[in-house]
């Protein structure tokens, strides 16, 4: 999954693809680089980010999804709003990627059930403005697993089919660096739930913290690529179904190396 943020303020690529032409061009280049799905988002979820109105979000993502769909580029819509998901699906998006797993908007699961599309359920506790105050766990792996299971139950109750569900631990969302590493170490415990697992570490701040210089300053976003590739390949080798990254080519190359050692091919199949 290649990341396409059509926002002025996302943490790593905000402002780069917020014009229509730049966004469409970047979406097609992600596919050329080997992405199987382009994840289009119109609202930044970086810690502390303010919300934008739904109409703004729709105005950012719908024209881009329409243009990419016209070029047969498969897209997912990265949103927590049912209204935005519905507009994106009507414009040609094939997957709903909800970082709140249906928690932020109770109407989301119905939209997904009616569309019959794949649904990425990410672990989430609160909107960006106050999510880091919710990063309190006694056993992060068990709690994330249990909270995700409740989101799965809600989706199933609304009519989402089990084979359409994908789980995501939500790295960096109400998580401290140690929580992200603990979830990475125990990815098998999420995979055990029986759903495909998406791992999305790309350029996140816990990688910057890991790579901090002698002055203790986190490594800036543009220096986190090798760590992104390493975590993504380790996740795939541990059984993740997919990875969500900004620099698709580097990760695809690394997965090709891993596959050359005898590992199976990874293919995203639209349901
Ligand atoms: N992270 C971001 C946005 N969308 N979706 C899923 N499924 N998982 C994530 O971890 C996730 C996401 C924030 O990162 P970005 O600003 O680089 O898009």
43-69 pLDDT per residue, tens: 988 777 888 999 999 999 999 999 999
CATH architecture of structural domain 2-260? Alpha-Beta Barrel (3.20)
3-class DSSP state of 196: coil
The answer to whether residue 204 is catalytic is: yes
Which residue, 16, 27, 31, 81, is CA-closest to 54? Answer: 81
**Alpha-helix residue ranges (DSSP H) falling in 158-239:** 177-185, 187-191, 205-210, 225-237
pLDDT over 60 (residue 167): yes
| Cα of 200 from ligand 1 centre, angstroms | 6
| Cα of 224 from ligand 1 centre, angstroms | 15
pLDDT over 70 (residue 208): yes
Pocket of ligand 1 (CB under 6 A): 3, 5, 10-12, 41, 45-46, 78, 97, 99, 120, 122, 168, 170-171, 198, 200, 202, 244
- Ligand 1 atom nearest 122 alpha carbon: 7
Q: What is the pLDDT of residue 110?
A: 98
pLDDT over 70 (residue 105): yes
pTM for this model (two decimals)? 0.95
Cα separation, 121 vs 221, whole angstroms? 26
Catalytic hit among 151, 175, 204, 224? 204
pLDDT digits over 145-161, tens only? 999 999 999 999 999 99
C-alpha of 178 from chain center: 20
Which residues lie closer than 8 Å to 54 by C-beta, 6 or more apart? 81, 83, 84
Tokens, residue 174: 């109400």
pLDDT over 50 (residue 271): no
Domain boundaries, the chain: 2-260
Cα separation, 118 vs 165, whole angstroms? 6
């Amino acid at each position: 999954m290649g990341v396409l943020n059509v926002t002025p303020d996302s943490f790593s690529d905000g402002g780069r693809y917020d014009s229509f032409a730049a966004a469409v061009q970047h979406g097609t280049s992600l596919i050329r680089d080997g992405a199987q799905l382009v994840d289009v988002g119109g609202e930044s979820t970086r810690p502390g980010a303010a919300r934008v109105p739904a109409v703004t979000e729709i105005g950012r993502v719908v024209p881009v999804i329409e243009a990419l769909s016209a070029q047969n580029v498969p897209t997912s819509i990265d949103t927590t709003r049912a209204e935005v998901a519905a507009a994106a699906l009507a414009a040609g998006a094939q997957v709903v990627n909800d970082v709140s797993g249906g928690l932020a908007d109770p109407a989301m699961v119905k939209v997904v059930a009616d569309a019959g599309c794949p649904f990425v359920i990410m672990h989430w506790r609160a909107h960006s403005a106050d999510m880091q105050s919710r990063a309190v766990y006694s056993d992060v792996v068990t709690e994330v697993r249990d909270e995700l299971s409740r989101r799965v139950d809600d989706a199933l109750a609304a009519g989402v089919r089990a084979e359409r569900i994908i789980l995501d631990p939500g790295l960096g969302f109400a998580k401290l660096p140690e929580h992200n590493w603990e979830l990475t170490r125990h990815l098998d415990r999420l995979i055990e739930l029986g759903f495909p697992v998406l791992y999305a570490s790309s350029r996140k701040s816990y990688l910057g913290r890991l790579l901090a210089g002698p002055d203790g300053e986190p490594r800036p976003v543009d220096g986190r690529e090798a760590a992104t590739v390493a975590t993504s390949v380790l996740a795939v080798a541990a059984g993740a179904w997919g990875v969500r990254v900004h620099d698709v080519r580097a990760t695809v190359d690394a997965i090709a190396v891993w596959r050359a050692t005898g590992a199976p091919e990874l293919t995203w199949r639209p349901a």
